[in-house]
């Protein structure tokens, strides 16, 4: 369902944000610096449990944050931020202006209290100094996202099909696998940064993730393992995997099946010997620089939001 919030909104509001922070902000007495950040994200998600579709949807995030350095006798910071929705679009200019005013008032109050404390406590007060930012070059740049498959173009039905199929494969990977939950996410975020110094940066990035959570129940114990893969790229990382100098993982189905194999293997004592095991998420863990050993723990902590009463329960709502 259209919600009126899209990443291209950044293009429409850039002139207004620039004028606010380079024009109106500079007119405020004793304001030394200000910057405004606005972010818009569009994303889709899908979840499957034991081979059956569990949840799916698309959503957006829209928010801004403002920082001000101001003060008469000393300089101190003040901040303001809030989340926004489609109903706020007609009043966005007013909301940003009010946010800037709030951050300015907080900075001025902070600076006055800092000056009072500095004068009151003598040598101890000398520890308080003006808040200053390190000087950096002022730039105006547009930084595009890197992806092959645009997260906005991925069909939600295809995400549900893919995610459910991975969950179905995990469910039959081993007879001791008693429960699994698989989820996928792909989104595109676009951030605008504007400062009173004249900086104007429009930066976008993609994010795609896959998570597999598996419970295996053996004759004497049960084990739960989960892991997440992701990258600042598009949907292609889940279907093809990633092979880069600093990050490497297989396609998501293979990754999830490796989690299932690890969970199943951890319910039985190791017999030693045998042929090498297939790719495992933990096979990529480098040795500890201090000890030279590689972590071997196979039980991962329970992810936030999951029930702690029974292994294999559904995510808490």
Token output for 265: 């293997």
Lowest model confidence (mean pLDDT) among 96-100, 126-130, 269-273: 269-273
State the average pLDDT over residues 64-81. Answer: 97
Q: Report the alpha-carbon angle 138-141-147, nearest 5.
A: 145
Q: What are the helix (H) ranges across the chain?
A: 9-19, 92-120, 122-125, 156-171, 236-240, 252-265
- Using alpha carbons only, how large is the chain's radius of gyration in Å? 26
- Give yes or no for residue 1 having a pLDDT over 60: no
Distances (CA, A) of 113 to 77, 119, 128, 173: 12, 10, 11, 64
Calculate mean pLDDT across residues 154-158. 97
Give the pLDDT score at 2: 57
Other beta carbons within 10 angstroms of residue 169's beta carbon come to 17
Q: Report the chain's mean pLDDT, rounded to a whole number.
A: 86
Query: Would you give the DSSP letter of residue 286?
Result: P
Q: What is the DSSP string of 124-175?
A: HHTT-----PPP----EEEE----SS-GGGS-HHHHHHHHHHHHHHHHTS-T
pLDDT tens by residue, 224-242: 999 999 999 999 999 999 9
3 pLDDT tier (thresholds 50, 70, 90):
low
**Residue 304 CB-half CA count within 13 A:** 0
- Which pLDDT value is given to residue 123? 86
Domain boundaries, the chain: 9-43+58-143
Quick one: average pLDDT of 30-42?
97
């Amino acid at each position: 369902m259209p919600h009126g919030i899209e990443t291209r909104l950044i293009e429409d509001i850039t002139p207004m944000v620039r004028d606010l922070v380079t024009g109106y902000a500079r007119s405020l007495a004793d304001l030394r610096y200000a910057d405004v950040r606005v972010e818009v994200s569009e994303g889709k998600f899908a979840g499957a449990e034991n081979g059956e579709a569990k949840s799916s949807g698309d959503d957006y995030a829209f928010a801004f944050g403002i920082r001000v350095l101001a003060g008469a006798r000393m300089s101190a910071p003040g901040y303001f931020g809030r989340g926004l929705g489609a109903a706020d679009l007609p009043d966005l200019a007013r909301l940003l202006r009010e946010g800037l005013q709030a951050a300015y008032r907080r900075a001025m109050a902070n600076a006055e209290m800092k000056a009072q404390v500095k004068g009151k406590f003598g040598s101890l007060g000398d520890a308080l100094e003006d808040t200053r930012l390190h000087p950096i070059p002022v730039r105006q740049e547009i930084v595009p996202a890197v992806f092959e498959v645009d997260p906005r173009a991925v069909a939600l039905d295809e995400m549900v099909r893919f995610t459910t199929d991975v969950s179905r494969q995990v469910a039959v990977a081993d007879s001791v696998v008693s429960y699994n939950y698989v989820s996928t996410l792909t989104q595109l975020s676009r951030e605008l940064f504007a400062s009173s110094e004249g900086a104007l940066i429009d930066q976008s990035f993609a994010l795609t993730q896959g998570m597999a959570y598996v419970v295996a129940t053996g004759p004497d114990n049960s084990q739960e393992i989960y892991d997440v893969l992701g990258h600042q790229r598009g949907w292609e990382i889940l279907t093809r995997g990633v092979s880069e100098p600093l990050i490497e993982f297989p396609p998501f189905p293979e990754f999830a099946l490796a989690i299932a194999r690890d969970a199943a293997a951890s319910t039985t004592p190791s017999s030693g010997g045998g042929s090498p095991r297939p790719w495992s998420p933990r096979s990529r863990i480098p040795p500890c620089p201090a000890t030279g050993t590689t972590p071997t723990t196979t039980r991962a902590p329970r992810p936030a939001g999951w029930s702690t009463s029974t292994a294999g329960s559904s995510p808490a709502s």
